[in-house]
Structure 1
Amino acid sequence: MLDGIISGLVSGSTYAILAVCVVVLYRLVGVLNFGQAALGALGAYVCYALVGAEVSLALAVFCGLAVASVTAGFSGWVLARWLGEPSAIARSVGTVVLLILLLTAGFRLFGDSPRAMPSLVPEASFDLGGVRVSLSTVIALLVTIAIAGVLSLLLRYTQLGIRLEAMSERPLTVQLLGVNSRQLAVGVWAATGLLSTLAMLLIAPTRNPTFESMSFLVVPALVAGLLGAFSNVWIAVASGLAIGAVEGAGARIEGLADYRGAIPFAIIIVALIWLRRREVWDAAR
């Protein structure tokens, strides 16, 4: 059981990074991005397609990150240009269209066959209390914590973070002060596209995924973001890691392994009931 939990932390790290992207984008731009994982899948598949064409891994990773970042930035510009005034719900629905477009492009470019992905981390492991811990698990956890920590410090203690927070709360006031809010929004989109690709590069070697399966990793990320109320980065990170650990443990339980993909949906139901408890109790009183 414990080895399953440890192995699940690689997936959990990916969920956590994607959840951080979802939370940051919602918190700063007011968009719940259903295409977040698909942007990362695009960058990862570009990377591995270039590796298959005998491009060096370092250059392929750079190109994959750049493609995802540019695509995400352009998507953010389109939404800001034509859906800047509508409600957050309307903008979020626009990201469903983005997801469909990316799924279509991914199918046309890369097909729907699973692929064996090369790992960015050397295949090494060590013993910890009788459990084998892979180097990829350690690296994934460190990257996740570093990303969450840097973003938290950026948003709280820097002038850029203050501007971003102000843009999310008073966009018109920010524009009147001479700050280019659209440019900031595009920058946030581009950064989350890059981070999403990094998350996919961490998990892809462990799964032999298809483009579609990678794109729908947004579901556990949305669950983790929901548990953090789409505002708290650290709760989203902890939730993403916990979901991955539960999935890993479930893979070791006979009879549950085939249904571990449904775990995020069960967590959604529990979370929604828990988040609505106060309204129900208040009404009962």
Structure 2
Amino acid sequence: MNSLLTNAVAGLTAGGAYALLGVCATFTFRLVAVVNFAGAAIGASGAFAFALLVEVGTPIWGAAIAGLLFGALVGVLIGEIMTRWFAEASTSIKAAVSTALLVGVTAVGLRVTGGQRPHEFPELLSGSAFRLLGVEVTNTAIAMLGLAMLFTLLIGLFLNRSHVGLQLRALSERPAAAELIGIPVHQLSLWVWAIGGAATTLALMLIAPQRAPNFLGLSLLVVPALASALIGFFRSFWATLLGGVVIGEMESLISGFSGLGAYRTAVPFLVIIAVLLWSQRGGRWDDAR
């Protein structure tokens, strides 16, 4: 029983990271209609900028701020490509371009960071927050969950209560009409990409010390991120957050069973398949009748 609780608590950090990454993916899709397969690679760029700066002696919080800014910059560069040349493209074409950008950013990232050679990622928030039934709950786990919930709450308030948020909603629903009435579509789109880049960078900086710290490994966290977003059908931020936490917990609990731990990374794929099958249940039922 204690081992299950230990694994459940350990899964909070991954679950919070998946939730934050998934909310960022939903945020990008809802506002600029892009399934952002390159999202985690953008965050990995910022996270590795942070790690490389720390390696050369930069103070940890100065390096963290620089990493966030670099992640936002890479997000803007990706957004410039998507907005300038593919704004009117179909969702499937945008997804294909996003996948190509994932490959490109990952290839460049592996080249710059020395391939699969791991790097030392310092913990931004080390130590234990409190003990739950004898199991330590880390500061990182609490921070990750708190950030995911705060980001989700702020996005909802921003989109529904602020003038800029209303403009962004108009951009997502009627981009051509929004531009005709004077809404700065291009600039707002780039802000969406910048915010997503900074948020994914923060998530990866926090989770990187617990993962294989190489560029490819962090870039592939796009899979649980998109699985979380799919649970919310790329519409509901709160369902996405819950989905991310559940996926993280499922991975952690499975790793506690002998012989199953090696298959923990298959959980997001199984979730994606299950959600897609569930979404098609009506058509399947009609065919069966």
SS for the counterpart of 1:259 is helix
Contact 1:117–1:208 (CA under 8 A) maintained in structure 2: no
Return the match for 2:64 from 58, 61, 64: 61
Find the counterpart in structure 2 of residue 93 from structure 1: 96
Find the counterpart in structure 1 of residue 220 from structure 2: 216
Find the counterpart in structure 2 of residue 73 from structure 1: 76
Q: Does 1:249 align with 2:253?
A: yes
Superposed counterparts of 1:1-285, under 5 Å? 1-111=4-114, 112-285=116-289
> How far apart in 2 are the matches of 1:174 and 1:66?
28
- Deviation string 1:50-89 (CA, Å, 9 cap, x unpaired) is 0000011111111111111011112111211111111111
Amino acid at match of 2:89: P
Contact 2:126–2:138 (CA under 8 A) maintained in structure 1: no
Contact 2:51–2:120 (CA under 8 A) maintained in structure 1: no
Contact 1:27–1:168 (CA under 8 A) maintained in structure 2: yes
User: 1:125, CA displacement in angstroms?
Assistant: 4.2
TM-score normalized by the length of structure 2: 0.96
- Deviation string 1:82-125 (CA, Å, 9 cap, x unpaired) is 11111111112111121111111111110211223100003224
Contact 2:51–2:119 (CA under 8 A) maintained in structure 1: no
> What is the percent sequence identity of the aligned residues?
36
> How far apart in 1 are the matches of 2:9 and 2:274?
24
- Counting matched residue pairs gives 285
> How far apart in 1 are the matches of 2:90 and 2:253?
40
> How far apart in 2 are the matches of 1:120 and 1:47?
11
Which stretches in structure 1 are left out of the alignment for 5+ residues?
Answer: none
Contact 1:148–1:233 (CA under 8 A) maintained in structure 2: yes
User: 1:254, CA displacement in angstroms?
Assistant: 0.6
User: 1:280, CA displacement in angstroms?
Assistant: 1.8
191-200 or 110-119, which deviates more:
110-119
> How far apart in 1 are the matches of 2:28 and 2:59?
32
Amino acid at match of 2:79: G
Amino acid at match of 1:193: G
> How far apart in 1 are the matches of 2:71 and 2:10?
27
> How far apart in 2 are the matches of 1:181 and 1:147?
23
> How far apart in 2 are the matches of 1:94 and 1:13?
28
Contact 1:27–1:230 (CA under 8 A) maintained in structure 2: yes
User: 1:207, CA displacement in angstroms?
Assistant: 1.8
Contact 1:116–1:208 (CA under 8 A) maintained in structure 2: no
Amino acid at match of 1:26: F
TM-score normalized by the length of structure 1: 0.97
> How far apart in 1 are the matches of 2:236 and 2:129?
32
User: 1:180, CA displacement in angstroms?
Assistant: 1.2
User: 1:250, CA displacement in angstroms?
Assistant: 1.1
- Deviation string 1:240-280 (CA, Å, 9 cap, x unpaired) is 01000111111111111011011111111111111111222
User: 1:215, CA displacement in angstroms?
Assistant: 0.1
> How far apart in 2 are the matches of 1:249 and 1:115?
27
Amino acid at match of 2:55: G
- Deviation string 1:188-220 (CA, Å, 9 cap, x unpaired) is 001100000000011011124211000000001
